[in-house]
Structure 1
Amino acid sequence: MKLSKAMMAAVMLGGICLLGTGFSNQESDKAVTLGQSGQNGSEIRIPHNERLLLSTDERWIAKEGHQSDLIRLQWTADRAKPAIAWADENGIDKTAIISHDKANNPEQHDHKHMSFETTMSPTGPYANQLFTRLEIPYDTDVSEIRTHSSNFNVMNGILRVAGETGSNRDLQFSVAGNDNETTPRWAVRADASQEAGDNAGSDLQFVRYGDDGEAFDAALTLQRSSGNIGIGTDSPDTKLDVNGDKIRIREKYTPASSSEPCSQGQMAWDEQYVYVCVAKDSWKRTELSSW
């Protein structure tokens, strides 16, 4: 039979159930209880194990009524939540994709997002409840995509932060506040220093922030061109460049002899001497005095 656009508002396609009025993959002569989502007798059904195929050769054109929207879900009340849900063999919802404007709780801020939801642990305090794992806001120029109670793993791949040269590319660590607000504390950054050839530019920095979320400085900089490390400076000109008036070696150490095994450049101190390894297994020392 030919389906109208209104009938396509909810579809079961290969096990996908669009809720509201909706298709079910249950045979029409079987009574089924669907757990959270439920059935109320208003469902439009197709025979069990058969598929509904939708196709188009039209573009998405707003002025012509979004012609490429083969499935279109619309909320008609401000707290309604049209959803696509997946249920198990007992009809219990396990996963869902939902888009809505306002939260269930009128005291909460407007959600204005699409969310991907899965059930909580069947043995936990919120057993089998659908819970937002990923949310993508709308009505915003920059969408703050969020996860909740989720770990993100990249298996045999790359986690990439990209951007044009001359722009900062940050991996940021923040504290969360009310209404999903965040305030940065640290950032790992490929900085905005220009790439001018000879491997220069886009240096790696560890940036620290104040309580107000404003950046103090780059506490640590690693130059891409030279590998130089700067502490308190973003332009180190030696392998280690410290912008400060003290360097501390906390633990004292006394070589047993001037030929004790060592590597050139190692340093140590005790109450009487400062020791420097000037060549392999060769220590020299200078005496300390008070003034």
Structure 2
Amino acid sequence: MKFVKAASIAALGVSLVFVGGCQMFGSSKGASSTTSPFTESKLPGGGLALPQNERIHLSTDNQWIEKEGHLSDLIRLQWTGDRAKPAIAWADEQGKDKTAIISHDKANNPEQHDHKHISIETTMSPTGENKDQLFTRLEIPYDTDVAEIRTHSSNFNVMDGILRVAGEGNRDVQLANTGKDNATSPLWSLRANSAELKGSNAGADFNVIRYSDEGEVLDSALTIKRDHGQVGIGTEDPQSALDINGDGIRIRESRTPASSKAPGNPGDIAWDENYVYVCVAKDTWKRTELSNW
């Protein structure tokens, strides 16, 4: 019992010495140890400040195991009020916050939905409506099996790289409408579908999926088969280079080839009010007359 009590007092003493700043870290100027007391922070809200250019070096050999208390988490930030927001912030030379990483449960405004996310925030434009205010750019929610990661007022630029969607089911890039509390309703999807990979380049065909106002799949408006590249409009099983499941096709603009030897490629089609023209060989046209009935 005396040993336990003595150990507790010793541990408390070490903590007090550390917080009081009587024993600090190695100086960046080469000294192995210095007496460098904390000073009062000059930033808004005060707090303790280390001397400039001092460092904190944390290390562990523990594993990240939940039942052992996640002993390898060398820094743990906790909120003890339901609207508190523990944060790590970066300030410029004038002490103004410019970027931050924040995790929290509830919004500042009680009328808003619960946030339950970690967010990366940066300041808005210094000349804009919300001058220098920190604003969420990326948020990742917790307490959910599938995290709906969101961005706000942000653009993604992939420079000299690949934006990849991988998996075994449908692989979608979705265009959606935003509703209340960040709820989304899909409008279109670009999809590599879940068709089985059978070899010979078959399977995982490309679809353009359209949705109803209620967010339900209507059909695949466009399909491209991966094995032979055939295109289907209104059909997911095209049987020719272009297979249209419909009762009409329209060429909006009329054109009259100058002569039967006018420039053209085999398969070109044109029309005017009197004829339909078909190019049957290089620079070789034939026509059929149109008549009323």
TM bin (shorter chain): 0.7 to 0.9
Q: Report the counterpart of residue 45 of structure 2 in structure 1.
A: 39
Give the equivalent residue in structure 1 for 2:106.
Answer: 102
Instruction: Give 3-state SS (helix, strand or coil) of 2:67's partner.
Output: helix
Distance 2:15 2:61 in 1: 18
Per-residue displacement from partner, 1:148-189 (whole Å, max 9, x unpaired)? Answer: 00011000000001011xx11000000000000000000000
Q: 1:27 to 1:131 in 2, by over 3 A?
A: farther
Shift of 1:46: 2.9
CA deviations 1:81-135 (Å, max 9, x no partner) are 0000001111111000000000000000000000000001111111111000000
For residue 289 of structure 1, report the CA deviation from its aligned partner: 1.7
The Cα of 1:61 is off from its aligned counterpart by 1.6
Stretch of structure 1 that moved more, 190-199 or 60-69:
60-69
Distance in 2, Cα, partners of 1:235 & 1:116 = 45
SS of alignment partner, residue 69 of structure 1? coil
Structure 1 residue identity aligned to 2:198: A
Unpaired runs of 5+ residues, structure 2, are 1-12, 20-35
* Aligned partners of 1:228 and 1:236 also within 8 Å: yes
Contact persistence 1:27–1:48 (CA under 8 A): no
Verify the 8 A CA contact 1:265 1:278 in the aligned structure 2: yes
Deviates more, 1:57-66 or 1:121-130: 57-66
**1:229·1:236 contact (CA, 8 Å) conserved in 2?**
yes
Structure 1 or 2: more helix by fraction: 2
* SS state at 2:223 partner: strand
Q: Which has the higher contact order (CA 8 A, sep 6+)?
A: 1
Q: Quote the Cα distance in structure 1 between the aligned partners of 2:105 and 2:207.
A: 39
Aligned with residue 262 of structure 1, among 261, 264, 268: 264
Structure exhibiting the larger radius of gyration computed from Cα positions: 2
Off by >4 Å, runs of 4+ in structure 1: 1-4, 26-29
* Map 1:1-291 → 2, pairs under 5 A: 28=38, 33-34=42-43, 38-40=44-46, 42-43=47-48, 45-164=49-168, 167-291=169-293
Cα distance change, pair 93–52 in 1 and its aligned pair in 2 (3 A): same
Take 1:256 and 1:159, find their aligned partners in 2: how far apart are those partners?
Answer: 48
The one-letter amino acid paired with 1:222 is I
**SS at structure 2 position matched to 1:39:** coil
Greater shift, 247-256 or 151-160, is seen at 247-256
Gaps of 5+ in 1: 8-25
**Structure 2 vs 1, CA of residues 72 and 89 (structure 1 numbering), >3 Å: closer, same or farther?**
same
| Amino acid in the other structure paired with 1:220 | L
Q: What SS does the corresponding residue of 2:276 show, helix, strand or coil? A: strand
Say whether the 8 Å CA contact 1:231–1:242 is kept in structure 2. yes
Change (3 A) 1:129 1:200: same
User: For the residues of structure 2 that align with 1:160 and 1:252, how far apart are their CA atoms?
Assistant: 42
- Look up the equivalent residue of 1:201 and give its one-letter code: G
- Percent same amino acid among aligned pairs? 65
Please give the alpha-carbon distance, in whole angstroms, between the structure 2 residues aligned to 1:57 and 1:136.
Answer: 28
SS in 1 for 2:85: coil
TM-score (norm. length: structure 1): 0.87
- Specify the code of the residue in structure 1 equivalent to 2:61: D
Deviation at 1:141, TM superposition (A): 0.3
> How big is the shift at 1:288?
1.4
Letter in 2 for 1:83: A
Q: What SS is found at the alignment partner of 1:115?
A: strand
Cα distance, 1:77–1:68 mapped onto 2, change above 3 Å: same
**d(CA) in 1 for partners of 2:251, 2:187:** 27
